[in-house]
Amino acid sequence: MNKNPIAERIILISNRYDSAKDFLDKCGINNYSLITDLKSGRIKKPGSEVLARIVIGSGCNGTWLLTGEGKPFEESVKNLSKKKFKINLLWANQN
């Protein structure tokens, strides 16, 4: 059975975690059968709220999740966020 490409990418990201539950907890998703349902084809097209939670919770590239284009995780964005946090922390410590 061919899975939806978005479902395949969600499964790929979830495999980076110790368990599906760890992944879903990190993303704030309470449907603990989501990954099993995606693998079996019971859920073919996850809703927009689930997709948004996955992008926010896992830090994956939303464009990649939806289209497969680009890299799953954009390192430059992560590094920029870390630098911004450090700058904000330094500024806060000065005041």
Angle at 80 between CA 46 and CA 68, to 5 degrees: 30
Nearest to 46 by CA among 18, 82, 74, 11: 11
pLDDT, tens digit, for every residue of 18-75?
999 999 999 999 999 999 999 999 998 899 999 999 999 999 999 999 999 999 997 6
Per-residue pLDDT band at 80 (split at 50, 70, 90):
low
Angle at 66 between CA 37 and CA 60, to 5 degrees: 85
SS3 55: helix
pLDDT at 83 > cutoff 80 = no
Least confident of 10-14, 71-75, 81-85: 81-85
pLDDT at 93 > cutoff 60 = no
